């Protein structure tokens, strides 16, 4: 339970960091803010300070910073120069972009903290089996529903062993049996389960399943040697995670059907975070950086109700040379918000049904 709470705390913190970016960019420019909320839906707790309502809400899937609306709030002049809509376009663009920037900066800080507290990576303390670190869309591994984080301990009833030897044993089984089904034994929260995967013959005549593998175990760390190594390691990790995240969203665009099956919602994120929290603080900080960068990239997408969609509307306004009709922007934002809530709801239901504890309950 404590690991689940740690993952939930990280997710809540990253949402707060994102919204704090918007909030500070607005108040720093003298733009009036009416509310700062973490979560959506009914308010659980709240307080008011300097005219701003701060609230923690019931649905833990995002948050928002709201600005005064002269049409629905008394005592606010539509011509007030401190209203968001009355500020120059560059100032509004900075407020919208600040959430993404805050998440990116915080991800780098988390990696710096990992280096300062735990040191830099220095190999893996091996345990039995291998862990799946990536799955290619449309591959035999994807068809078999393998996912990053899966712990494979045996193939066709034969234990894989430990460390690099375990990776070698699985690769050998895959490469030498193209077209022949392999039974993989996976270890999870509900005990052992089996997956059937059939290696595909590649152009070199060997079997492939389209999965990236590494030894299962906990990472080892050593103290940093100097400030240069500390900064370089954190920056390299930041750019690697960012590049992989962008590549993942690129695959979603080019291989939507296959990649969409691997999408995870809040429940899956918390589950993975809890698993990493069990491996120690270093893994939890890595999870923090990973999710923070994912939140930044997700919010930068040019979709309604996301920061990227708001930036797109600002760009359109700049090209037109005049503000867009209010009813247009409201309609677009409401539609986008409804679609986003629907997607999150579907992912939460699917992810919950796939949790090991949920499967065990159904079969009891």
155 contacts 169 by C-beta, under 8 angstroms: yes
**Which of helix, strand or coil describes residue 153?**
strand
Strands (E), 67-209: 120-135, 151-155, 158-159, 182-188, 191-197, 200-201, 207-208
Q: Which residue of the set 19, 53, 162, 187 is catalytic? A: 19
| Dist. CA 151–CA 182, nearest whole Å | 16
Q: Which of 103, 144, 119 is nearest to 224 (CA)?
A: 119
Question: How many CB atoms within 10 Å of residue 158?
Answer: 11
| Bridge partners for 197 per DSSP | 182
Max intra-chain CA distance, the chain:
76
Q: Which of 65, 67, 57, 66 is nearest to 12 (CA)?
A: 57
* Catalytic site includes residue 53: no
283 contacts 277 by C-beta, under 8 angstroms: yes
Q: Where are the alpha helices (DSSP H) in 280-324?
A: 281-300, 307-320
**Which of helix, strand or coil describes residue 75?**
coil
| Dist. CA 139–CA 210, nearest whole Å | 5
Q: Is 192 exposed, middle or buried (0-12, 13-18, 19+ CB in 10 A)?
A: exposed
Residues 6+ away with beta carbon under 8 Å from 221: 118, 119, 120, 121, 122, 282
Residues 6+ away with beta carbon under 8 Å from 168: none
Any idea what DSSP says for residue 321?
T
Catalytic residues, by residue number, are: 19
């Amino acid at each position: 339970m404590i690991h689940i709470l740690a993952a939930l705390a990280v997710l809540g913190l990253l949402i707060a960091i994102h919204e704090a970016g918007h909030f500070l960019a607005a108040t720093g420019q003298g733009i009036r803010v009416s509310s700062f909320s973490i979560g959506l839906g009914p308010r659980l707790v709240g307080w008011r300070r300097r005219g701003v309502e701060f609230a923690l809400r019931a649905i833990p899937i995002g948050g928002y910073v709201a600005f005064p609306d002269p049409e629905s709030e008394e005592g606010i002049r539509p011509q007030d120069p401190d209203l968001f809509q009355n500020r120059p376009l560059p100032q509004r663009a900075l407020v919208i972009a600040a959430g993404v920037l805050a998440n990116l900066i915080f991800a780098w800080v988390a990696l710096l903290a990992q280096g300062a507290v735990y040191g830099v990576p220095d190999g893996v303390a091996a345990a039995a089996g291998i862990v799946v670190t990536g799955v290619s869309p449309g591959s035999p591994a994807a068809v078999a529903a393998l996912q990053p984080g899966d712990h494979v301990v045996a193939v066709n009833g034969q234990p894989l062993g430990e460390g690099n030897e375990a990776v070698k044993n699985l690769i050998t089984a895959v490469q030498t049996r193209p077209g022949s089904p392999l039974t993989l034994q996976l270890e999870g929260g509900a005990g052992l389960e089996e997956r059937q995967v059939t290696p595909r013959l590649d152009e070199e005549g060997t079997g492939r399943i389209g999965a990236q593998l590494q030894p299962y175990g906990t990472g080892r760390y050593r103290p940093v040697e100097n400030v240069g190594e500390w900064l370089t390691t954190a920056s390299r990790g930041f750019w690697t995670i960012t590049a992989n995240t962008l590549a993942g969203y690129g695959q979603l665009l080019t291989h939507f059907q296959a990649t969409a099956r691997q999408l995870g919602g809040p429940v899956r994120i918390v589950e993975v975070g809890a698993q990493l929290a069990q491996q120690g603080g270093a893994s939890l900080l890595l999870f923090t950086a990973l999710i923070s960068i994912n939140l930044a990239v997700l919010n930068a997408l040019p979709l309604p109700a996301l920061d990227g969609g708001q930036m797109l509307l600002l760009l359109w306004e700049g090209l037109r040379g005049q503000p867009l009709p209010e009813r247009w922007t409201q309609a677009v934002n409401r539609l986008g918000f409804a679609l986003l809530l629907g997607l999150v709801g579907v992912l939460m239901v699917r992810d919950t049904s796939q949790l090991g504890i949920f499967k065990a309950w159904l079969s009891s």
